[in-house]
Structure 1
């Protein structure tokens, strides 16, 4: 059994329900505001830990009340190892604008994530061993993310990159990725190809051994370096908020691989977990509970 090592951001999510996105210069009233811990790194780490997998999570936070809120939320999640790097910056935050159909747009501030150094990333990734899954996202700098991927690869870990948000070029990093997980828009932005199947194949040509392109209600598709392609349908649910679905998918997918599930089972379980998130509002608050994930895994794998 391997572990899941996650290096990523943690912050506070401010959620606002809107009838539509505002246009330039417009002030638009929303409702159903909310605040909760968040960030792609935090959400993915919590989702992975709630499966029962051994999860190591390192993240940068600020010396402020928001940092204390983040730390308090993380300490109860049962991580095998949790390290908080306190940075001389305000804690990161995101504004999640959720539309009536459940789709969302997100704006983020990430000074703490950007301050995580190459040396910190290398020290984190040096904990990896063969059988471990090392998961990173796009919130850190390209240099720190690359350093972690290279170090983890050299240590024999399986590297998984979810390069959102795309604020630097992911292409140079893909040669150090065993797995890359992107959504439809991210796949197109990286490869320039609108067709998800062609984009997934292009991601493998750029260096990834396995490319997974998530397609929302249409499920996801996977393409590997052997040329094998497969589409995985998603469970049919009444989605009310898709915020956090991708994070749930990545965290559960990584955990299932680390605990010995094959690719097909890991993807199916990750999609089923993401479907639970889609039926609730918020991101952190919508993540499946330990009991829900335990039941989901037991029903689908016999555990």
Structure 2
């Protein structure tokens, strides 16, 4: 069995349920306000760890109470390795605005993620090896992300890139990515193609071996060595889609590291994401170890 090595952000998620998004200049009242550990990197690492696969997580956090809260939450998750780099900035946070249909919009502050250096990324990548799956997102700088992807690839690891949020040009990094996971909007922004199948093909044209475009309730399209497949999502009543993409990426990486084939890995990732969508929040909605074990048992019958 390989390991999952996640490099990304760790933040606090502030959640507010709204009837709709506010208009420019408008103050809109929401309800069900809450806070929890979060960040794409943290969520993906925890989702992967709860599958039982060994997970190592590196992330930058601030020298403040919020950083201590995140560190305490991660210590009980059974990670095989955890390194939280303390940087002189307020710990990152995200505001998650959840609408009545379960869809969400997110605004984030990322000074800690932006402070993560290329040298730190190279040190992280040096711990990877053949059989490992190295996972990155778009929160760090382009230079640090590239350093980690290039270093991990050179050591024979599988690289999985989930480039959200898109705040720098992703295309130059695609040749260093074995797997890319994007939603349909991100796929169009990166490639210029609005049709998911065309966008997946364009990602592969840029050097990606396995391109996945997630479609929410429509499942996902996966282009693997020229073969396009549509994976249908489980039919559910969505409560909150926050964190579904992170669950998908974390579980996908873990199943590949465990040695499962791509079809099984995608199917289990979608089933786990469906569990997340049926509960409010992101971190609190990640599947538990027992829930994931039940999904695996059902698949392996």
Instruction: Please give the range of the TM-score, normalised by the shorter of the 2 chains.
Output: over 0.9
Match for residue 154 of structure 2?
154
Match for residue 246 of structure 1?
245
Q: Distance in 1 between matches of 2:3 and 2:220?
A: 25
Pair 1:287-2:286 in alignment: yes
Shift of 1:238: 0.3
Pair 1:270-2:269 in alignment: yes
Which residues of 2 match residues 33-44 of structure 1 at below 5 A? Answer: 33-44=33-44
Q: Distance in 2 between matches of 1:76 and 1:58?
A: 16
Pair 1:193-2:185 in alignment: no
SS state at 2:32 partner: strand
Q: Distance in 2 between matches of 1:113 and 1:295?
A: 35
SS state at 1:281 partner: coil
Match for residue 30 of structure 1?
30
Q: Distance in 1 between matches of 2:277 and 2:264?
A: 20
User: What TM-score do the two structures reach when normalised by structure 1?
Assistant: 0.99
SS state at 1:212 partner: strand
Q: Distance in 1 between matches of 2:201 and 2:80?
A: 36
Match for residue 47 of structure 1?
47
Which residues of 2 match residues 142-181 of structure 1 at below 5 A? Answer: 142-181=142-181
Shift of 1:301: 2.3
Query: CA offsets, 1:228-254, max 9 Å, x none?
Result: 110000000000100000000000000
RMSD of Structure 2 on Structure 1 (CA): 0.6
Match for residue 119 of structure 2?
119
Match for residue 87 of structure 1?
87
Q: Distance in 2 between matches of 1:149 and 1:4?
A: 14
How many residues align structurally? 301
Match for residue 11 of structure 2?
11
Segments of 5+ residues of structure 1 without an aligned counterpart are none
Q: Distance in 2 between matches of 1:167 and 1:301?
A: 40
Segments of 5+ residues of structure 2 without an aligned counterpart are none
Runs of 4+ aligned structure 1 residues displaced above 4 Å come to: none
Q: Distance in 2 between matches of 1:30 and 1:160?
A: 36
User: What TM-score do the two structures reach when normalised by structure 2?
Assistant: 0.99
SS state at 1:60 partner: strand
